[in-house]
């Protein structure tokens, strides 16, 4: 008895794309996860080995990146409409009968730093620094041994990005080095931070204002990220830890884990398009992992190294 090829569809899933608009010093970004799925006349592809009706998934991926450059991304819906129409209308009639484009859009807010001209009344956006919306988790660990407390608080999944003011060059080069030196790259990371308090709770020592402390530490981490002109993520790590210690007397030690969320420029030359640092592939792995502690002199670090 013959078997029947039932429902089938294919395409490239989860194309991670960051589109940067650099028309002024106030950059704009769109961050999307685009999945393409095509339905149509693919019976031969499955049954005979003929790929005459197969638009490669690789091409669907390239189309997503090239369209981001050529048409820009005004809205996820509009971008989806453009892509879906293209896949159906540009292939020979009837081959791709329908195209499904799923898009997840990740929202970003601008990092604000105190307005340098009016420190106490306002704040100023940094044109190239962003924090991803609604992601982070606040953490704490309190240990009490009957004598003293040890409080380590923190946050995780605070995702930040600078679209400029980041370079990386002058590093060791050996026979395995392929990395190109970067003089203007995207710097993005998903911050895991823990910080230890000087508070021990002995002899009626009052508790810090924990909520205010959290908000302020978070603020200083963000400001340091946004304001540091970075020659490495290691240097940014040090600036972030230092900024917290300089501004929050209740904190003695800061430990940071900063994955380097690589953004690779997409080569659009094959499509006759120039990529002026506008269209990136946002890789989720592998990633560089930069970790370090910054602590006050004379204080023995207590935050365990994971």
CA pair distance 195, 232, nearest whole angstrom: 22
Binder of ligand URC out of 168, 197, 199, 225 (CB under 6 A): 168
Query: Segment contacting ligand URC (CB under 6 A): 46-54, 60-68, 142-150, 228-236?
Result: 228-236
CA pair distance 290, 115, nearest whole angstrom: 30
Burial class (CB in 10 A: 0-12, 13-18, 19+), 281: middle
Options 27, 220, 261, 262, the catalytic residue: 262
- Which x/- pattern, by CB under 6 A, does the window 253-292 give for ligand URC? -------x---------------------------x----
- Which x/- pattern, by CB under 6 A, does the window 191-220 give for ligand URC? ------------------------------
* E runs forming strands in the chain: 15-21, 28-40, 96-105, 108-114, 123-132, 137-144, 149-162, 187-197, 251-260, 263-265, 279-282, 288-295
Q: Is residue 261 annotated as a catalytic residue, yes or no?
A: no
Q: Is 7 annotated as a binding-site member?
A: no
CA pair distance 301, 155, nearest whole angstrom: 18
Q: Is residue 262 annotated as a catalytic residue, yes or no?
A: yes
Q: Is 23 annotated as a binding-site member?
A: no
Q: Is residue 12 annotated as a catalytic residue, yes or no?
A: yes
Assess 233 for contact with ligand URC (CB under 6 A). yes
From the CB of 179, what's the least distance to ligand URC, in Å?
A: 5
Assess 179 for contact with ligand URC (CB under 6 A). yes
CA pair distance 57, 67, nearest whole angstrom: 15
Q: Is 93 annotated as a binding-site member?
A: no
Q: Is 234 annotated as a binding-site member?
A: yes
Assess 162 for contact with ligand URC (CB under 6 A). no
CA pair distance 297, 102, nearest whole angstrom: 52
Nearer to ligand URC, 144 or 229 (CB): 229
CA pair distance 268, 36, nearest whole angstrom: 19
Residues at the site binding ligand URC, with contacts judged by CB under 6 A: 168, 179, 232-234, 260, 288
């Amino acid at each position: 008895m013959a078997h029947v090829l039932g429902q089938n569809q294919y395409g490239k899933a989860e194309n991670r794309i960051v589109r940067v608009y650099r028309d002024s010093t106030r950059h704009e970004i769109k961050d999307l996860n685009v999945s393409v799925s095509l339905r149509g006349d693919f019976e031969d592809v499955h049954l005979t080995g003929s790929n005459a009706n197969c638009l490669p998934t690789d091409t669907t991926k390239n189309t997503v990146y090239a369209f981001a450059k050529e048409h820009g991304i005004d809205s996820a819906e509009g971008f989806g409409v453009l892509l879906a129409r293209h896949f159906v209308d540009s292939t020979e009639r009837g081959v791709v009968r329908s195209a499904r484009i799923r898009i997840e859009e990740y929202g970003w807010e601008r990092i604000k730093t105190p307005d340098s001209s009016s420190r106490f009344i306002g704040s100023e956006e940094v044109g190239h620094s962003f924090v991803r919306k609604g992601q982070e988790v606040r953490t704490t660990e309190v240990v009490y041994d009957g004598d003293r407390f040890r409080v380590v608080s923190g946050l995780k999944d605070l995702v930040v990005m600078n679209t400029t003011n980041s370079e990386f060059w002058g590093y060791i080069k050996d026979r395995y080095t392929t990395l190109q030196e970067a003089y203007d790259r995207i710097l993005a990371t998903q911050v895991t931070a823990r910080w230890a308090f000087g508070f021990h709770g002995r002899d009626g020592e009052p508790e810090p204002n924990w909520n205010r402390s959290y908000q302020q530490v978070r603020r200083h981490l963000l400001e340091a990220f946004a304001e540091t002109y970075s020659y490495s993520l290691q240097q940014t790590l040090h600036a972030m830890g230092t900024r917290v210690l300089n501004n929050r007397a209740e904190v003695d030690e800061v430990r940071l884990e900063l994955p380097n969320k690589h953004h690779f420029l997409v080569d659009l030359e094959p499509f006759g398009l120039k990529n002026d640092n506008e269209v990136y592939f946002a890789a989720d792995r592998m990633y560089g992992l930069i970790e370090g502690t910054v602590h006050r002199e004379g204080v023995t670090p207590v935050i365990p190294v994971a």
